[in-house]
Amino acid sequence: MMVRPLSVFFQVAIAATVVNAQLGDFFKNAFGGAIGQIPLGKVDTGAIVAANTHDITSENWRSSINVTVDAAASEGDVQEWLFYFTTQATNGTTFGNVTYWDGIYNDTVYAISTAKPATKLHFGKVDCSTSAAAELCFSFFLTRGLPVFYHIATYFNNGSTEIRSVPFDRNVTESGQQPAFLAKFHSEKEWKAIAPWTGIFNPINGTLKDYAPIFGKALRYYEMMPQWAFMIGIPLLGRTITSRIAGGRNTQRPTPTPAPAATS
């Protein structure tokens, strides 16, 4: 007696399943498949990168990294920046693929900006091919070998700033490896193991920091000069100097000897 009710129940269940499937196909076809094509939770990575990237120039870089000094702040309380110095791929100063490293930068910004807990790292992008950033790039002596990363830490307790070049392997090609390294460099404070930039050309407090852009530009022109120009120019310069010295000596007239006084 129980077999027939069970059989009827299974038939109804199967029929309901078929109807649901048909209704699903109907709505999907009715809306042109739009329901299945809507991605859930899609994130605009470009918008996140743009929102967290500051355009750094020669005029605003110092004000960007400066902090309001708080004597009560702890020694480890710092404001951190990651400066990405890049350029255009056609200006002859690139070491590697600019498009590739721009992608590395974007992936790094996205990874760190979306990490939990929220990070305090600021991101600055410096385009050395523009006139607005040229002086800054010369101050860092970035005449070639771009793109590069620099880590800048400013301490709240005394306002001092430390600049460090970020080391990384340019030969790595695995997807995600470089962004993961840069994220770890910040999150685990690996930058503290690197000696900060010191010396007379330190763009923060170096003795000759105001002249660094001039020396950087001179270095750029030196690197642009072909080697054969030195091979020809140096001997000519030496010959000119030598001839001038020798000629100056040969043209010196002897001092005339005064005539003896007449005797009566």
Give the per-residue pLDDT at 50: 96
Give the per-residue pLDDT at 55: 98
Q: What is the pLDDT of residues 33-80, one digit of tens each?
A: 433 343 434 568 899 999 999 999 999 999 999 999 999 999 989 999
What is the signed CA dihedral for 128, 129, 131, 134, rounded to 10 degrees?
A: 30
Give the per-residue pLDDT at 217: 75
Closest CA to 204 of 154, 161, 248: 161
Mean pLDDT by 10 residues, the chain (264 residues): 47 48 44 39 81 97 96 94 89 70 93 88 96 94 89 96 86 77 92 94 91 74 56 60 57 57 58
Give the per-residue pLDDT at 59: 97
72 Cβ neighbours under 8 A, 6+ residues apart: 157
Question: pTM to 2 decimals?
Answer: 0.68
Other CB atoms closer than 10 Å to residue 78's CB: what's the count? 22
Give the per-residue pLDDT at 29: 46
Give the per-residue pLDDT at 245: 58
